Amino acid sequence: MKILISSASFGKINRDPMEILEQNGYKPVLNPYGRKLEFEEFEGLIKDAVGLIAGTEKITADLLKKAPKLKVISRYGVGLDNIDLEAAKKLGVIVRSTPEAPSQAVAELTLALMLNLCRRVNEADRNLRKNNWSQLMGKLLYDKTLGIIGLGRIGKKVVKLLQPFEMKVYAYEPYPDHDYISLNKITLAPLDEVLSHSDVVSLHLPLSDKTIHIIGKKELSLMKKEAIIINTSRGGLIDEGALVEALRNGLINGAAIDTFEKEPYKGPLTEFDNVVLTSHMGSSAVETRKQMELETVNNLINALKELGL
């Protein structure tokens, strides 16, 4: 039985997941293009697959209708906003994901981006490569106020990593864990209040109809002029046009973005020295990817076995 692996990065650092599939009687088929699949390419590959290991590529109702044998989608990652879950449910397709595996890696990248922006590491590196020896004046994270937008698995790990910096923490979380919030002396507040109090704002929400552009022109105007914003969560949480406008007008001090509304990103955020951009690499740590791949394969196999396949 064919298992399509549409994620272009899957299996590059570890052969074990492929062997596990083969040992269980499945035939893994890798993405032959080394990039996100176009619809016609996807359609041709998925039409006879019983299982799909998916990355961030769009899996629409139209695509699912082209896959009559498909029984299980195992998402190689956390978010499911790229999958039409309602269509999958109607067609009887089981959907699984790996919510735990990427958390530490994404949290560590978030910390790296915060430190980079505060100490202007990228700017200094670019200057030095141009023979410009200038000691840039940065800021400390220590004793500042952190605003966490979304206090789930990754948000909590970010809070833990930042404990040595003795930051005050404000959080916006629609479904709060009150025991955790009390234990860690976090101030739970409405979004506007979190934004207006914070020196560093970090986004850790899923993308949905309720959260798309949760940070727009109004929200950016509420932030301190010396504040920075970090998005290692989902593209679309920030209105990128509004962010560009806020940076141009000096409404905020900087931004670090790992996920974008359209990827690969080629927009005007690349023009700013006080912006750090990374290529959706939150989970791109060797240890994390190995764990994610094994969990993804095991999720797929277990679901197929439950169906007797």
- Give per-residue pLDDT as tens, 292-306: 999 999 999 999 999
CB atoms within 10 A of CB 32: 9
CA count, 13 A, side-chain hemisphere, 34: 1
**DSSP one-letter code for 37:** P
Residue 64 is predicted with a pLDDT of: 97
Section 113-119 average pLDDT: 98
Regarding whether 107 and 94 lie in a shared domain, the answer is no
Residue 107 is predicted with a pLDDT of: 98
Regarding whether 255 and 223 lie in a shared domain, the answer is yes
Percentage of the chain modeled with pLDDT above 70: 100
DSSP string for 44-82: HHHTTEEEEEE-SS-B-HHHHHT-TT--EEEESSS--TT
Three-class DSSP category at 149: strand
From the list 226, 263, 271, 287, the catalytic residue is 263
Regarding whether 260 and 120 lie in a shared domain, the answer is yes
Q: How many whole angstroms from its chain centre is CA 222? A: 24
Regarding whether 250 and 186 lie in a shared domain, the answer is yes
pTM above 0.85? yes
pLDDT digits (tens, 9 = 90+) for 230-242: 999 999 999 999 9
Report the run of H or E that residue 202 belongs to, with start and end: strand 200-203
Regarding whether 124 and 71 lie in a shared domain, the answer is no
Regarding whether 144 and 87 lie in a shared domain, the answer is no
CB atoms within 10 A of CB 224: 17
**How far apart, in whole angstroms, are the C-alpha atoms of residue 264 and residue 36?**
10
pLDDT digits (tens, 9 = 90+) for 119-152: 999 999 999 999 999 999 999 999 999 999 999 9
Residue 54 is predicted with a pLDDT of: 96
**Does pLDDT of 99 surpass 90?**
no
Residue 77 is predicted with a pLDDT of: 87
What's at 275, amino acid-wise?
Answer: V
Residue 78 is predicted with a pLDDT of: 84
From the list 75, 120, 234, 289, the catalytic residue is 234
**How far apart, in whole angstroms, are the C-alpha atoms of residue 76 and residue 101?**
10
**What are the strands of the beta sheet with 228-231, ordered from one edge?**
187-188, 168-172, 145-149, 200-203, 228-231, 254-257, 275-277
Catalytic-residue membership of 248: no
Q: How many whole angstroms from its chain centre is CA 183? A: 27
Regarding whether 71 and 171 lie in a shared domain, the answer is no
Residue 48 is predicted with a pLDDT of: 96
Boundaries of domain holding 244: 103-277
**DSSP one-letter code for 211:** T
Residue 266 is predicted with a pLDDT of: 95
Three-class DSSP category at 134: coil
CATH of the domain at 255: 3.40.50.720
pLDDT digits (tens, 9 = 90+) for 175-211: 999 999 999 999 999 999 999 999 999 999 999 999 9
Regarding whether 181 and 34 lie in a shared domain, the answer is no
Contact of 256 with 228, CB cutoff 8 Å: yes
Regarding whether 213 and 130 lie in a shared domain, the answer is yes
Question: Phi then psi for 119, rounded to 5 degrees?
Answer: -100, 5
Q: Which two tokens stand for residue 68?
A: 């009559």
Catalytic-residue membership of 153: no
Place of tokens 């196999």: 301
**How far apart, in whole angstroms, are the C-alpha atoms of residue 103 and residue 174?**
19
Three-class DSSP category at 2: strand
Regarding whether 135 and 261 lie in a shared domain, the answer is yes
pLDDT digits (tens, 9 = 90+) for 203-232: 999 999 999 999 999 999 999 999 999 999
Structural domain count, the chain:
2
Q: Who contacts 202 (Cβ-Cβ below 8 Å, separation ≥6)?
A: 110, 114, 146, 147, 148, 149, 155, 158, 229, 230, 231, 232
**Does pLDDT of 13 surpass 90?**
no
Catalytic-residue membership of 263: yes
CA distances from 3 to 34, 41, 66, 298 (A): 17, 15, 15, 13
Contact of 45 with 37, CB cutoff 8 Å: yes
Regarding whether 114 and 242 lie in a shared domain, the answer is yes
From the list 280, 289, 293, 295, the catalytic residue is 280
Residue 14 is predicted with a pLDDT of: 86
Regarding whether 113 and 95 lie in a shared domain, the answer is no
Residue 136 is predicted with a pLDDT of: 97
Question: Phi then psi for 261, rounded to 5 degrees?
Answer: -65, -40
